[in-house]
Amino acid sequence: MLKKMQVPSHSEEWYKFRTTGYGDFIGGTGASEIGIVLSLSHYRPTLMELFHYKVGTEIPVRTDSERMFHGRNNEAYIGKLWECYDGTTEGYVNNYNKYIEEVKKVNADDFLLYQSDDINDIINYRTDANRFLVRRNIRVPEYLYNTDYPYLFCSLDFQAIDKTPAITNIGNISAGDILPPFPIECKTIDKDAARNLDYAFPDMYIAQLNAQMLITESYYGEIAVLSGGNKFDVYGFERNDDICRYILKWNTDFWENRVLPARELLKLADENPKKKEYYIGQIQPLEPEPDDSPAYRIYLSEKHESIADKVDGDDDMYNTMIKYNEVSKQKKEIEEKETGIKNTITNWFVKNKCDRINFGDSGYIKYFLKSGGKNKQLYLNSFKPKK
């Protein structure tokens, strides 16, 4: 059963809901966090960090990163672009420009209110402007969770209103099909990430949208993407039940075998001050192990606290160091091979006296001097092998 809970944004209740739970909700993993549980995210928080947030042994940072700041503040703009989007660049640009011109005519002082969180309260009188909107969405101010899928919740950027037409063909859905309400996720991405969208859509975005569809009992959802600050697209996805089962399996394991047992130990520590250190120590084995994410290096550096000058390594530590030496040797061999291949590629440019080599549908490579640089550099990221 789908349930809703409205709490003031960034209030104490809001932080409790997102971490250790609030009201009749014991806590869960947000759809935007599910990529962390599935090891799809290389951003902070790490899975170990998220574990401590949900247990209550660490407090999340309560300030936005620059990336989060711009992403959140772009949501209203992207949501309006979505409403103007007809499947073509020319179409949504014209619709948006005409919409804004009509809004200005209604009340010039009210021009910026199209970005308001209270968008449902201000669109009703804009009948002339609304004729340029291809589809309609609404803000969903509540947190959503579903009693059939414990330990999960989501906060939708927008939701398409009932009887919204599909804009593209995807799976069993054809353009023009009339759909029930569905989640819309807004994303702001940089140019480097944008280059990969047509080649491979980020798994953590797909997992997030599938979690939203699972919670809201929807079979379809869309991701609206503003990339590089100057390109907008809308991508439709059918719910993938295999992905949803995967989400439920790993998230349930994370909560029932790690978070909830750790909460019980924390409760015992609070109830037994004399044995507090013992119970807190029992939480550590429940922590998820670090992965290869660069974010772990930063988190573990912040977490490290030196009490003992030195300790003796055990068998697990010794075997890990053996693995490190083996990997380090392999890395050196791979780096030497990579350098040799790059030298061969560079020689292509020397022989052909060119700055760019095209590979048709697979992209291109370049050899150029960066502004302010002293040595020319290879640029190989735009080459994508054929699927």
Residues 209 and 332 in one domain: no
Parallel, antiparallel or unpaired: strands 364-368 and 377-379: antiparallel
Residue 122 lies in a domain: no
Among 204, 229, 245, the domain boundary falls at 245
104 vs 19: which has the higher pLDDT: 19
Residues 323 and 195 in one domain: no
Residue 287 lies in a domain: no
Residues 239 and 321 in one domain: no
Span 36-53, average pLDDT: 91
Span 186-192, average pLDDT: 83
Rg (CA), the chain: 25
Q: How far apart are CA 200 and CA 116, in angstroms?
A: 33
Residues 354 and 225 in one domain: no
Tens of pLDDT, residues 55-95 = 999 998 877 777 778 777 889 999 999 999 999 999 999 99
Cα distances from 79 to residues 139, 167, 237, in angstroms, run 9, 15, 17
Tens of pLDDT, residues 284-314 = 999 998 877 777 677 677 776 655 677 788 8
How many independent structural domains does the chain possess? 2
pLDDT above 60 (res 316) = yes
Tens of pLDDT, residues 237-248 = 999 999 999 999
Most confident of 146-155, 312-321, 356-365: 146-155
Among 245, 265, 295, the domain boundary falls at 245
Residues 61 and 205 in one domain: yes
Residues 173 and 78 in one domain: yes
Tens of pLDDT, residues 102-143 = 877 765 455 444 444 444 444 444 557 888 999 999 999 999
Q: How far apart are CA 99 and CA 84, in angstroms?
A: 8
Tell me the residue range of the domain where 341 lies.
317-379
Among 214, 245, 276, the domain boundary falls at 245
Residues 209 and 340 in one domain: no
Span 221-230, average pLDDT: 92
Span 310-337, average pLDDT: 87
Direct distance between the N- and C-terminal alpha carbons of the chain, in angstroms, rounded to an integer: 41
